Copies of this chain bind each other. A is one copy, B any other.
Amino acid sequence: MVLYFIGLGLFDEKDITLRGLEAVKRCKRIYLEAYTSILLCDKGKLEELYGKPVITADREMVESYADQILEGADVEDVALLVVGDPFGATTHTDIQLRARERRIPVKVIHNASVMNAVGASGLQLYRFGEAVSIVFFTETWRPTSFYDKIAANRKLGLHTLCLLDIKVKEPNFEMLARGKTVYEPPRYMTVNTAIEQLLEVEEIRKEGAYDGSTMCVGLSRLQADDQQIVAGTMKELLSVDFGAPLHCLIIAGDIHVVEEEILAFYKVT
């Protein structure tokens, strides 16, 4: 029997592949990984399409209860559904390792992820350097490790994909201190917030990795009918409304002629 890692693609229930759907239909238990990305449609739509229930697996479940997911995967097929590609932005290393240790065969069914779909911007994928994560700044936690990476990419003329923070099922620490587990409402970083934080860090570091006039592309809800792709300087994109999540941001490096021609269609107006 098999533990399937099945990519759901970018947007809704229709982005699964035929191969993925066939595998889901063979599975006795279906888990939806729901903490490294988020499903942009209702889980009920998946269940309707598959004709069976889908169990939401949050971080705690995948990390602490991997054994529960693996239980019986040696006698029946089990699926772990992942938004995007199963190994797109994160590797589900722990559960994969445990499966392999138990000699449960692992099969991966690939799909689009933000890591390759950003090619839609017109900036060519092979000209991207290392990707960076931008997390929500708090009063006391303002990690800026992205700065040096962006600087290194731009020095080489390369584009940088910025993956923007999502906070799902974060406990309210005040309530936690009183012994109650209450979750904060989910938060998804917008392109605007990302740029604000980027400019704030440049203001402090002043090494010229980028500035308000640096060309960027903001993308939201890739593959949805109302997806947005807007190209402009950091300053210009600050005031663009990219709508509902998920957002991501590309900081351009050197822009080649062919890239420029496509970007022109996406220029902020």
Contacts and interface: CB of A to CB of B under 8 A. Distances in A.
Contact of A262 (B16, B96, B109, B261): B96
A166 B235 CA distance: 42
Interface stretch (A56-64, A68-76, A121-129, A239-247): A121-129
Contacts of A127: 130
Interface string A77-112: 000000001111111010011001000000011111
Nearest to A100: B265
A22 to B, nearest CB: 7
Nearest to A158: B130
Given A19-B14, A116-B113, A261 B130 contact: no
Given A87-B125, A91-B259, 5 more contacts: A86-B120, A96-B262, A108-B120, A109-B223, A110-B222
Interface of A: 7, 9-10, 13-19, 21-22, 85-91, 93, 96-97, 100, 108-113, 115-117, 119-120, 122, 124-133, 152, 156, 158, 163, 222-223, 258-259, 261-262, 265
Contact of A130 (B16, B93, B156, B265): B156
Given A111-B112, A129-B130, A130-B129, A119 B88 contact: yes
14 contacts: A13-B18, A15-B19, A17-B18, A18-B21, A19-B223, A86-B120, A91-B259, A97-B261, A108-B223, A110-B116, A126-B131, A126-B132, A126-B163, A130-B156
Contact of A16 (B18, B88, B110, B259): B18
B109 A111 contact: no
A103 to B, nearest CB: 11
A133 B122 contact: no
A132 to B, nearest CB: 8
A96 B9 CA distance: 23
Contact of A131 (B93, B100, B125): B125
Nearest to A262: B93
Contacts of A91: 119, 122, 124, 258-259, 262
Contact of A17 (B17, B125, B131): B17
A85 B85 CA distance: 12
Among A88, A111, A122, A132, the most chain B Cβ lie within 10 Å of the Cβ of: A111
A10 B18 CA distance: 12
Most buried by B among A110, A117, A120: A110
A258 B93 contact: yes
B115 A110 contact: no
A128 B125 contact: no
